[in-house]
Amino acid sequence: MLNVWEYRSSYKEPEDFDDFWTSTIAEARQHELALTITPVETHLVTVEVFDVTFPGFGGHPIRAWLRLPKHRKGRLPAVVQFHGYASGRGAAVEDLLWSSAGYAHLFMDVRGQGGDWASGDTPDPVGSGPAYPGFLTRGIENRDEYFYRRVYTDAVRAVDTVRSLDFVDPERVAVIGNSQGAGIALAAAGLVPDLTAAHFQAPFLADIQQATRVVRTFPYEEITKYLAIHRNSVDRVWSTLAYFDGIAFARRAEAPAWFSAGQLDDVVPAQAVFGAYHEYWGPKQIRLWEHNGHEAGGAEDSAIALSAFARTLHSGQSHRNEE
């Protein structure tokens, strides 16, 4: 079995990677950060929930849940969370962990998704050319039109949104997610230079080309199926995906980060997670769950993140680089 602790990815980033993303984010930030924040009646005793809309890529309206501890004083540390593939932000009364722990918790809806195990409310007004069913191949032959260009930009604007709230401490903001959500969080960590902490559970969309070689499961299989038909598009596809690989964002991320991976994961292979981990620029730790699959550490990962964030976001202390 491959020793993932020694694995290093062969991914090479485009020379104009930084220029591409600098101009993309700058263009999005030209749209005024006009928010709508509407209280939601939930009958929860300890948590308040708000329905938030903010402008994402192209100024398109992006929905999110904002959950706050009902009894609070002073500015709160914040956690911005992103969900898994084909899912959505779900119901207002779900995902109460972080607000219960004393954080302002913004849970972003990924545009165009929400048809699988949790509902979503954010359409994607941008179409694409031919694509395999799913999201991975939408606009995949053109970096400017690729689906995740919009999603990653939405994620940056989600961080901008939570930092703009007068009850949030903008210097104590973390990003988290699992699977696709972890991939989006990793992109946000690379694009927003001054985050305080991050947690990436089995991050999808890192070391993408190698991952498609290793697994024959969806969602990565969407790329394989697309290329099986579009045989002359191989170079264009990999050229596009090079601008969206988590390894490039890991090289630019500075926040103390906690990674996790399942040794038996057949959706996001552990070596792809380690490919990003080994390239991560900031202080980092990782937990490899040898007998687990895509769930990685599950609730144990959440407990690790809660403990780590209590030290970094509540106390303001950071951790040394540790491998």
Active-site residue, from 124, 160, 265, 301? 265
Cis-peptide, bond into residue 219, ω within 30° of zero: yes
- The CATH topology of domain 35-314 is Rossmann fold (3.40.50)
Both tokens of 311, joined, read: 């030290």
Roughly how many angstroms between the first and final C-alpha of the chain, as a whole number? 21
Catalytic residue list contains 71: no
* pTM for this prediction: 0.95
Catalytic residue list contains 164: no
Active-site residue, from 60, 83, 199, 294? 294
Active-site residue, from 83, 179, 199, 278? 179
Parse the chain into domains and list their residue ranges: 35-314
Q: Please, where are the H alpha helices in 202-250?
A: 208-214, 220-229, 234-241, 246-250
Catalytic residue list contains 265: yes
Helix axes 234-241, 220-229, angle to 10 degrees: 150
- d(CA 170, CA 147) in angstroms, rounded, equals 28
pLDDT in tens, 187-202: 999 999 999 999 999 9
pLDDT in tens, 62-71: 999 999 999 9
For the chain, list residues with pLDDT below 70: 1, 116-117, 315-323
- Which pLDDT value is given to residue 1? 62
